[in-house]
Amino acid sequence: MGGGPEYPQRGEHERELLLCVLPWPEKASEKVIGEIRDEFPNLEMHYIAQTYEDLKTGKTEVPEDLCKRASYLATLSWLPLHVSSVPNVKFIQFYSAGTNHVAKHPIYTDSKIPLCSASGVHGPQIAEWVIMMDLVHSHKYTILYDAQKRKEWKQKVGMEGVSDNVGKRVGVLGYGSIGRQVARVAKAMGMDVIAYTASPRPTPESRRDGGFIVPGTGDPEGEYPSAWFSGLNKDSLHEFLKQKIDLLVLSVPLTKETTHFLSTEEFALLNEVNPAGTYIANISRGQVIDQPTLVKALERKQIRGAALDVTDPEPLPADDPLWTAPNCLITPHVSGSTTVYAERAFQVLRENLRRERDGKHLVNEVDRDRGY
């Protein structure tokens, strides 16, 4: 381990405390937790498993003395009410892709405690969701499945207008860990990939992925896109949308700049440059799309369809017109789910424990000014 000490210590016999407040049973990640305990024998771990009701109400009982002693906090959403409650915390490891859900909390706004996301653990399963939804639509599967339930053999329905993805273009709006894995799968299917980022990526070094990467996934070197675009203003976005995109994947963090990033003007532009229709997959946050204008775009056939794992608001009210919009597939914010989610998130935590020990920069540390 680089010849460093086993673990940073406060005293010869005093162990540092890792406090985990998470909505999974400890057993779900026992393998990687055991590896962390073996690697850091001077680290004490206390695990509090939250219930669904805890998450729903936001009320989780965590003893005050544990908060006071904690050197590291691992959490999905729970935080103590006050910064003073965690005087010894060196960093907080969130098990979520972003931290916008705590952006108004005093620990976010009034402290300098490093906050780290679990960005990177969602890439494989969400990329599969994106490609699955695109294929379900392009191969008319929902229509065929409805026919199956009616016990009807409708071969013609499954043959008309079906197209494969070879030679089509996927535009990834937000080329982070999820977008990079979408690109990897899309390239394997013979698609062209173009990328959009907030800041310019003109050099090979700037295009590398500096975050956590699930081994064997993603685009670590930024090699897949045939073209890169960037910016946080509408003119830059429009230049990207003019590239005749067949599948547009929204994977940007929710910030002031990205709120309603796609609205009336953008849907009209997509239709103008690609009359055959762009298919939109949103796995970021519902507010990135101006939802009423999306419904109109679907009704007017300005876009080919939409697959949404996020909506505005959530849960989506039963009377919202989005439910019945044509060519729209909706799932209840589940694309990031996988049986190994918690295990992967603990791998991010382990990496940050190593980096903190070795005096290196933390992985996935949130830039509070940028919001991600």
pLDDT per position as a tens digit, 135-193:
999 999 999 999 999 999 989 989 999 999 999 999 999 999 999 999 999 999 999 99
Check if 333 is active-site.
yes
For residues 141 and 94, state if they share a domain: no
For residues 65 and 128, state if they share a domain: no
125 forms beta bridges with none
Q: Cα separations (Å) of 96 from 77, 203, 231?
A: 8, 29, 25
Predicted pLDDT of residue 48: 97
- Assign residue 26 the CATH number of its domain: 3.40.50.720
Predicted pLDDT of residue 371: 84
Give me the residues of the chain with pLDDT under 50, please. 1-13
For residues 309 and 215, state if they share a domain: yes
Helix (H, G, I), strand (E, B) or coil at 55: helix
For residues 236 and 246, state if they share a domain: yes
367 part of a folded domain:
no
352 part of a folded domain:
yes
Q: From the candidates 6, 152, 205, 314, which is the catalytic residue?
A: 314
Predicted pLDDT of residue 7: 43
For residues 107 and 178, state if they share a domain: no
Helix (H, G, I), strand (E, B) or coil at 330: strand
Neighbours of 209 (CB within 10 A): 18
Check if 69 is active-site.
no
138 part of a folded domain:
yes
Query: Which residues contact residue 106 at a Cβ distance below 8 angstroms, ignoring those fewer than 6 apart?
Result: 81, 82, 83
For residues 107 and 176, state if they share a domain: no
Query: What are the helix (H) ranges across the chain?
Result: 30-39, 52-57, 64-69, 106-109, 123-138, 141-149, 177-188, 234-241, 264-273, 291-299, 341-358
For residues 194 and 116, state if they share a domain: no
Check if 101 is active-site.
no
Q: From the candidates 285, 304, 354, 357, which is the catalytic residue?
A: 285
368 part of a folded domain:
no
268 part of a folded domain:
yes
The separation between CA 18 and the C-alpha centre of its own chain, rounded to angstroms, equals 25
For residues 153 and 235, state if they share a domain: yes
For residues 117 and 130, state if they share a domain: no
130 part of a folded domain:
yes
Predicted pLDDT of residue 14: 76
What share of the chain has pLDDT > 70, as a percent?
A: 97
Is pTM beyond 0.95? Reply is no
For residues 140 and 97, state if they share a domain: no
Predicted pLDDT of residue 91: 98
365 part of a folded domain:
no
For residues 182 and 34, state if they share a domain: no
Residue 312 DSSP symbol: S
For residues 169 and 252, state if they share a domain: yes
Predicted pLDDT of residue 334: 97
Strand-pair category, 192-197 with 70-75:
unpaired
37 part of a folded domain:
yes
Predicted pLDDT of residue 4: 46
Q: From the candidates 333, 350, 355, 368, which is the catalytic residue?
A: 333
Q: How many distinct structural domains can be found in the chain?
A: 2
Domain of 54?
A: 16-121+338-358
